[in-house]
Chains A and B, each alone.
Chain A
Amino acid sequence: MDTTTAAVASDARSDAPASTPDVETLIATARRLRRDILEMTTHAGSGHPSSSMSAIDVIVALYSGGILRHNPQEPHDPDRDRFILSKGHASPALYAILAERGYFGHDLLRTLRQTGSPLEGHPNMRRLPGVEASTGSLGQGLSIGLGHALAGRIDGRSFHTYVMVGDGEVQEGQIWEALMSGAHLRADNLTLIVDHNQAQQSNILERVLDYRPLAEKLRAFHWHVEEIDGHDMPAILAALESVRQVKGQPQAIVAHTVKGKGVSFVEADWTYHGRAITKDDLQKALAELRD
Chain B
Amino acid sequence: MAATAERFELKLGKATRDAFGEALRELAKTNDRLVVVDGDVSNSTRTEWFAADHPQRFFNVGIAESNMVGVAAGLAAAGKIPVVASFACFLLCNAYDQLRISVAFPQLNVKAVGSHAGISIGEDGPSQMAIEDIALACALPGFAVLAPADEVATRVAVRAMLEHDGPVYLRVGRPKAPVVYGSEADFPFQIGQAVRLRQGNDVTIVANGLMVAAALQAHDRLAETGVSARVLDMPSVKPLDEAALDEAARETGAIVVAEEHLAHGGLGSVVATAVAGLRPCPIAFVNLGDTFAESGPGDELLEKYGLTAADIVRGANRAVAAKRQG
A150 touches B66 (CB 8 A): no
Of residues 69 through 102 on chain A, the ones whose CB sits less than 8 Å from some CB of chain B are: 78
* Closest beta carbon of chain B to A121's beta carbon, Å: 13
Q: Within 8 Å of chain A (Cβ to Cβ): is B106?
A: yes
Give A193 to B75 CA distance when docked, in angstroms. Answer: 20
The answer on a CB contact under 8 Å between B105 and A147 is no
Known: A154-B57, A180-B64. A140 touches B75 (CB 8 A): no
CA distance A147 to B57 in the complex (A): 12
Q: Does A185 lie within 8 Å of B74, measured CB to CB?
A: no
Interface: A139 (CB within 8 A):
yes
Given contacts A126-B107, A133-B102, A133-B106, contact A150 B75 (CB under 8 A): yes
Instruction: Decide: B98 and A140 in contact? CB cutoff 8 A.
Output: yes
In Å, the complex CA distance between A150 and B98 comes to 18
Contact call A151/B105, Cβ cutoff below 8 A: no
Complex formed: what's the CA distance from A114 to B18 in Å? 49
A274 on interface, CB distance cutoff 8 Å: no
B106 x A146 contact (CB < 8 A): no
CA separation between A174 and B100, bound complex, in Å?
15
Complex: A272 Cα to B66 Cα, angstroms:
30
Give the distance to chain B from A120, nearest Cβ to Cβ, in Å.
11
**Residue on A nearest B76 in the bound complex, by CB:** A147
Query: Is B80 a contact of A143 with CB atoms below 8 Å?
Result: no
CB-CB under 8 A from B107, the residues of chain A are: 126
Cα distance A184–B64 when bound, in Å? 13
* A181 CB–B CB distance under 8 Å: yes
Chain B residues whose CB sits within 8 angstroms of the CB of A135 once the complex forms: 101
Q: Is the CB of B106 within 8 A of A180?
A: no
Cβ contact within 8 Å between A147 and B61: no
Residue of B nearest to A149 (CB): B74
A177 touches B67 (CB 8 A): yes
Interface string of B50-69 (1 = CB under 8 A from A): 00000011010110101111
Contact B78 A147 (CB under 8 A): yes
Shortest distance in angstroms between B166's beta carbon and chain A's nearest beta carbon? Answer: 12
Q: Quick one: given A126-B107, A134-B106, A184-B62, are A143 and B67 in contact (CB under 8 Å)?
A: yes
Q: Which chain B residues in 65-113 approach chain A with CB under 8 Å? A: 66-80, 82, 97-98, 100-102, 105-107
Tell whether, in the assembled complex, residue A134 and residue B79 are in contact, meaning their CB atoms are under 8 Å apart.
no
Total A-B residue pairs with C-beta atoms closer than 8 Å?
Answer: 110
> Does B179 make an interface contact (CB < 8 A)?
no
Q: Does B35 touch A at the CB level, under 8 Å?
A: yes
- Binary contact track B32-43/A, C-beta < 8 Å → 1, others 0: 000101000000
Q: Are B77 and A140 in contact (CB under 8 A)?
A: no
Cβ contact within 8 Å between B101 and A147: no
Contact yes or no, B101 A137, CB < 8 A: yes
Contact flag A78-B59 (CB < 8 Å), given A140-B98, A140-B101, A147-B72: no
Decide if B35 touches A174 in the complex (CB within 8 Å): no
Bound complex: CA A181 to CA B65 (Å) = 11
Other-chain contact of A136, B61, B72, B78, B101 (Cβ < 8 Å) = B101
Task: Considering the complex, give the chain A residue whose CB is closest to the CB of B32.
Answer: A154
B97 contacts A143, C-beta separation under 8 Å? no
B57 partner residues in chain A, CB cutoff 8 A: 154
Q: Do B70 and A146 have beta carbons less than 8 Å apart?
A: yes
Residue of B nearest to A190 (CB): B74
Distance (whole angstroms) from the CB of A49 to the closest CB of chain B: 23
**How far apart sit A146 and B98, CA to CA, in the bound complex (Å)?**
14
Instruction: Check if A146 sits within 8 Å of B66, measured CB to CB.
Output: no
Which single member of B67, B72, B97, B100 contacts A178 (CB below 8 Å)?
Answer: B67
CB distance A154 to B106 under 8 Å? no
Q: Which residue of A lies closest to B57 (CB)?
A: A154
A177 & B64 in contact (Cβ 8 Å cutoff):
yes
Q: Which residues of A in the span 113-133 have a Cβ within 8 Å of any Cβ on B? A: 124-126, 132-133
Q: In the complex, which residues of chain A have a beta carbon less than 8 angstroms from the beta carbon of B80?
A: 151, 154
Are A147 and B77 in contact, with the CB atoms below 8 A? yes
Contact B66 A174 (CB under 8 A): yes
Determine the residue in chain A with the shortest Cβ distance to B54: A154
Contact indicator B98/A148 (Cβ below 8 Å): no
Interface assignment of A173: CB less than 8 Å from any CB of chain B: yes
Does A230 count as interface, using CB distance less than 8 angstroms? no
Q: Which residues of A contact B61 (CB under 8 A)?
A: 177, 181, 185
Q: Which residues of A contact B79 (CB under 8 A)?
A: 78, 151
CB of A177 within 8 A of CB of B66, answer yes
Q: In the bound complex, do residue B64 and residue A144 qualify as a contact, i.e. CB atoms below 8 Å apart?
A: no
Q: Is the CB of A147 within 8 A of B64?
A: no
Residues in B neighbouring A125, C-beta threshold 8 A: 77, 106
Distance to closest chain B CB from A201 (angstroms):
18
The interface of chain B, by Cβ under 8 A from chain A, is 35, 37, 56-57, 59, 61-62, 64, 66-80, 82, 97-98, 100-102, 105-107
Some 12 contacts from A to B, beta carbons below 8 A apart, are A125-B106, A126-B106, A133-B74, A133-B106, A143-B73, A146-B70, A147-B75, A150-B59, A151-B78, A154-B80, A174-B70, A181-B62
